[in-house]
Amino acid sequence: MSTSSSAVAPETRSGLGNPWVQLVIGIVCMAMIANLQYGWTVFVTPIQDKQGWSLAAIQVSFTVFVLVETWLVPFEAAFVDKYGPRVMVAIGGVLAGLAWIVDSLATTLPMLYLGGIIAGIGAGIVYGTCIGNALKWFGNRRGLAAGLTSAGFGAGAAATVIPLTMMIKSSGYQQTFMTFGIVQGLIVLVAAMLLVTPPKGGPVELKKPRTLQGVKDYTPQEALRSPVFWIMYVMFVLVGAGGLMAVAQLGPIAKSFGISNVPVTIVGVTLAALTFALSLNNIMNGITRPLLGWVSDRIGREMTMFGAFMVEGLGIFALMVFGHSPVSFVLLSGLVFFAWGEIYSIFPSTARDHFGQKYATTNYGMLYTAKGTASLVVPLASVLSVATGSWTAALSVAAIFNVIAAVMAIAVLYPVRVHEIKKAGGTVPEMVTATAAPVV
């Protein structure tokens, strides 16, 4: 597609070249790899019961998965630029399916960790490519586009948590790994054939952007030298640590509270507390990504970060205090996931706003490694809970991390971004400078 055609409004393009069609395909791919992360917690206790491994040892596999998934994305992005999204997502789909097949056969911890490594490579390829496509296909709606794409990863597991749980009970976790691995991998492989390389020229931008916009395309090396990159990196780690801990440890936390299998009825639906929480969490995690991505397109990335991170910090604290009640556990965990999931729409959008279009996939890939760094906290949380005899200390640390990140969004990130944009010769629109002003 030529540069001139890239300036055509999205709705006027047809077929696979329509950005909205590409967005839907990306969402499907993301939904099919969601269980690699969000479905993991339902397997932890069955694995422990059958194999007799410690909780901390099992969770190393989750940490390895996240590290590999995130830290290899910048390198995988280079292959996306060379071979296009179709080939790379197809490879990612094959690896994602193979990973759970390996997990189903794992009778030793090293083999379980191998499954985590393969899953991380596959998920990282699919995730990084689909988010990069969303950022490149859309202009001032990129917060919404990135949010909808990442929503597939956040909410994709919602529809399968109950089937996963039921199949584990009826057929065992090993057969469940095998069956879902094959199905999910095949769907990604087929969807990958429909992906199209985004136009080089980029989409149409509004004349008066509603968010802070950079004025140059940063190379990856230039992005790494920018204070903005490292401020966002620290914030990503702080917020990601609390959320990943909840993702991986929600099952063990519910078990320690003694409420895992206690029936909970909300709006006429009755499920065991943990199953209810997992289903609601995935739904909330999915809803928040496009919703708050859309909000950030209008009121600014930093103001949205401040509100969401503060709510998450307070929500984690409330979960610690009131979570021993089954109903409170379900509702508060849903609030935490709602306030956490938006990092996967706002951070890529902010990176694209500030560092430009040309290297958007690689630059966000580098920032996305912060999720891997944050995952190092997951096994430490297990160790801390054993050492203290409760989850209070771990949850308190997670809550504090979020509050710090919330303050950093408006007290550090925003002024530094303004300074760097002006230094590069750009201007800050009045609408953006007064972030509290209504957007028409």
What residue type is assigned to position 165 of the chain? T
Whether residue 429 lies inside any domain: the answer is yes
Query: What is the Cα–Cα distance from 246 to 227, expressed in whole angstroms?
Result: 29
Residues in the chain: 440
**pLDDT value of residue 247:** 67
More confident residue, 205 or 124: 124
Identify the band that residue 213 occupies on the pLDDT scale cut at 50, 70 and 90: confident
Please, what is the average pLDDT of the chain?
85
Whether 339 and 311 have beta carbons less than 8 Å apart is answered as yes
Flag whether pLDDT at 185 surpasses 80.
Answer: yes
Q: Is the Cα dihedral 22, 342, 378, 325 positive or negative? A: negative
Contacts of 372 (CB under 8 A, 6+ apart): 66, 67, 68, 69, 70, 71
Whether 157 and 289 have beta carbons less than 8 Å apart is answered as no
Contacts of 236 (CB under 8 A, 6+ apart): 343, 347, 367, 370, 371, 374
Beta strands in 175-318 (DSSP E): 263-266, 269-272
- In terms of Cα–Cα distance, which of 233, 188, 173 is closest to 365? 233
pLDDT by residue (tens digit) across 81-109? 678 889 999 999 999 999 999 999 999 99
Whether residue 440 lies inside any domain: the answer is no
From first CA to last CA, the distance across the chain in angstroms is 33
The CATH number of residue 55's host domain is: 1.20.1250.20
Query: What is the Cα–Cα distance from 228 to 239, expressed in whole angstroms?
Result: 17
263's enclosing H/E stretch is strand 263-266
Whether 362 and 220 have beta carbons less than 8 Å apart is answered as yes
**pLDDT value of residue 424:** 83
pLDDT by residue (tens digit) across 278-308? 888 878 887 888 999 999 988 889 999 999 9
Express the helix, strand and coil content of the chain in percent, nearest 5 each: 75, 0, 20
Whether residue 281 lies inside any domain: the answer is yes
Whether 137 and 22 have beta carbons less than 8 Å apart is answered as yes
Flag whether pLDDT at 1 surpasses 60.
Answer: no
**pLDDT value of residue 2:** 37
Count of structural domains, the chain: 1
pLDDT by residue (tens digit) across 242-263? 777 766 678 888 888 899 889 9
Whether residue 162 lies inside any domain: the answer is yes
64-68, 74-78, 374-378: least confidently modelled range: 374-378
Whether residue 206 lies inside any domain: the answer is yes
What residue numbers bound the domain in which 25 lies? 5-433
**pLDDT value of residue 430:** 58
Dihedrals φ, ψ of 263, to 5°?
A: -65, 135
41-55, 117-131, 335-349, 367-381: least confidently modelled range: 367-381
Cα of 238 vs its chain's centroid, Å: 14
Query: What is the Cα–Cα distance from 398 to 437, expressed in whole angstroms?
Result: 32
Whether residue 439 lies inside any domain: the answer is no
Identify the band that residue 207 occupies on the pLDDT scale cut at 50, 70 and 90: low
**pLDDT value of residue 201:** 57
- In terms of Cα–Cα distance, which of 65, 128, 26, 79 is closest to 363? 128
Whether residue 438 lies inside any domain: the answer is no
**Section 205-217 average pLDDT:** 72
Whether 322 and 335 have beta carbons less than 8 Å apart is answered as no
Q: Where are the alpha helices (DSSP H) in 138-226?
A: 142-155, 161-171, 173-192, 220-224
Whether residue 54 lies inside any domain: the answer is yes
**pLDDT value of residue 285:** 80
